[in-house]
Amino acid sequence: MGGHRSAEDIAGELKRSGARLARGSVYNSVAALRSAGLVMAADTGPGRTLYEASDMWHHHFVCRVCGSVTDVECVTGEKPCLEAEIPSARTEEAQVIFRGVCPSCTEDSRGVATRRPTPGARR
């Protein structure tokens, strides 16, 4: 599928392609792939975790207007790029979520003062 997908997206796509897989199995598979380092999880909003096939450690920019998720290069490119200042704690990874307005929504707001959400749009 590519890109950033929720477990619901993956379950939906499997259903469309005719695969019979319980939702719980999708979550378990994603969790296994994640612990094997083959899938990366991005916590991009309230209750929304998106997964993607990972090849390079990176961060995410989430647009607060349209909800789009854009990859942001990590300055060090390896984990952890930040250390938690907790005595005796060993930081394994630090994921940064940047929030703001994406380029296309910035463009939109120049011409139109208010942007109404499209009826029925999910993201």
Residue type, 45: G
Read off the tokens for 98.
């940047």
Q: CA-CA distance, 18 to 21, in Å (whole number)? A: 9
Q: Residue 63 or 74: which CB sits closer to Zn ion?
A: 63
Interface of this chain with Zn ion, residues 34 to 73, rule: CB under 5 A:
52, 63, 65-66, 68, 71
Helix (H, G, I), strand (E, B) or coil at 7: helix
**31 vs 105 by CB, closer to Zn ion:** 105
Binding mask 83-122 for Zn ion (x = CB under 5 A): -------------------x--x-----------------
| Smallest separation, CB 85 to Zn ion (Å) | 26
Instruction: Provide the 8-state DSSP code for 90.
Output: -
Give the footprint of Zn ion on residues 10-39 (CB under 5 A): none
**Token pair of 33 as six digits:** 């792939």
CB of 87 to Zn ion, least distance (A): 32
Q: Inter-axis angle of helices 7-16 and 23-35, to 10 degrees?
A: 120
Q: Report the C-alpha gap between 100 and 87 in whole angstroms.
A: 32
Sites of contact with Zn ion (CB under 5 A): 52, 63, 65-66, 68, 71, 102, 105
